[in-house]
Structure 1
């Protein structure tokens, strides 16, 4: 079944092979009926199973499409009905022969009369046909469940793919945002460091070889008075020398 998905789908080939379920069901029912087992009618239900399996084999794909399922269902129903009727007649004929009936049907036709064996009791017909119908319905239910499971798996696979894609996009976006935030933080730190470097204390403008903002040593009051007195005395001495 897993190989079907790797091969090209073909509805025509699937339909052609599924039709083979009709002669297959008829042949199987007739052969089993001639064995005298009494279950030839039930064997007719093989037509429903074979129709779906042959369609899947021919189309190279599990029967999941509505068109494929409907076609296989119709062919399977026809095969089951014809197979069940063939099995019923085959069982009856086998019982007829085993009970001493003539097998010369061709000779009877040429003689102008023919004896067709058929069950005389209703339960001999109703019970086998009921069992056949139940088996056919079971085949339909099984294939419907298989189709629904395939659809469910496909939906789950698509959902997982979407979730994975969304997770990957979210992770990519998160990484991009994280990288962008880190880049912005580094740029802000570099700018702050640059501003701090510009605003750092500097020696200032030089005046006479010394920084302008360098504080001059403060003189004491007594030193200032002494210096003033010396200047006054010096000036007074100069005046007296001129006189």
Structure 2
């Protein structure tokens, strides 16, 4: 296959792959939460970082169009929010189990034998969510800058193509005009040379098939000869 061949843009495939950022963010946050780090919600920002590259991979091109960018942004936001909530719940579950709770937390809650294991201190929620928000905004800014750069490059490429085409047309016109002028000059020179050749090779005006100058010369000669004969007879 030729290297210059490019597959067409596919919004549907890009959208499909970008949606995979949602389970990716949830899974990453839950796994980190089960490790007991306490910052599982911050990992959810991976959803925003993953949504744009996944869309670009599926659509077979960079995310530069408005509809592409908006869809990836919405998916990334959903993935980040769901991942953050999943991370908080995973942290709460890990804390509950570490405090002596059992793995049957759902049964204990519905049976009234345990309270909802949610962080009791505000900073346990505010700090992870703040980190998540900052990372998500950073991902948006980075991808927006890439989209603007691609859009600018496309505009410059189109402008260069138009300029190149106009230059070629101008050069073609100039070449055609130059060729026409040369042909006209050559034709004029050939005509002038032809006229000069006719004038130089012609002995003069023809009368009865002979040049007029020769006829006039013969007439003068005969007249002079006749005058000499008359003089000789009279003399």
Instruction: State whether structure 2 residue 111 is matched by structure 1 residue 88.
Output: no
Which residue does 2:153 correspond to in 1? 153
Give ranges in structure 1 of 5+ residues lacking alignment: 218-226, 237-243
Which whole-Å CA distance do the structure 1 matches of 2:97 and 2:166 have between them? 73
Instruction: State whether structure 2 residue 197 is matched by structure 1 residue 182.
Output: no
State the Cα distance separating 1:112 from its structure 2 match: 2.5
Change (3 A) 1:83 1:148: same
Q: TM-score by structure 1 length?
A: 0.77
State the Cα distance separating 1:46 from its structure 2 match: 0.8
Which whole-Å CA distance do the structure 2 matches of 1:76 and 1:58 have between them? 15
- Structure having the higher helix fraction is 2
How far does the alpha carbon of each residue in 1:148-175 deviate from its partner, in whole angstroms, 9 at most, with x for none?
2222222111111111111111111111
Which whole-Å CA distance do the structure 1 matches of 2:17 and 2:202 have between them? 97
How far does the alpha carbon of each residue in 1:47-79 deviate from its partner, in whole angstroms, 9 at most, with x for none?
112222222223333222222221111111111
Which residue does 1:193 correspond to in 2? 193
* Conserved 8 A contact 1:64-1:150: yes
Which whole-Å CA distance do the structure 1 matches of 2:37 and 2:14 have between them? 33
Give ranges in structure 2 of 5+ residues lacking alignment: 222-227
The 5 Å alignment of 1:68-217 reads: 68-98=68-98, 100-103=99-102, 104-109=104-109, 111-200=111-200, 202-204=202-204, 210=214, 212=216
* Conserved 8 A contact 2:9-2:59: yes
Number of aligned residues:
220
Instruction: State whether structure 2 residue 56 is matched by structure 1 residue 56.
Output: yes
The 5 Å alignment of 1:217-236 reads: 231=231, 235=234
Helix, strand or coil: the match of 2:200?
Answer: coil
* Conserved 8 A contact 1:105-1:115: no
Change (3 A) 1:69 1:213: farther
Helix, strand or coil: the match of 2:147?
Answer: helix
State the Cα distance separating 1:101 from its structure 2 match: 3.1
* Conserved 8 A contact 1:42-1:84: yes
Across the aligned residues of Structure 1 and Structure 2, the Cα RMSD in angstroms comes to 3.0
Which residue does 2:37 correspond to in 1? 37
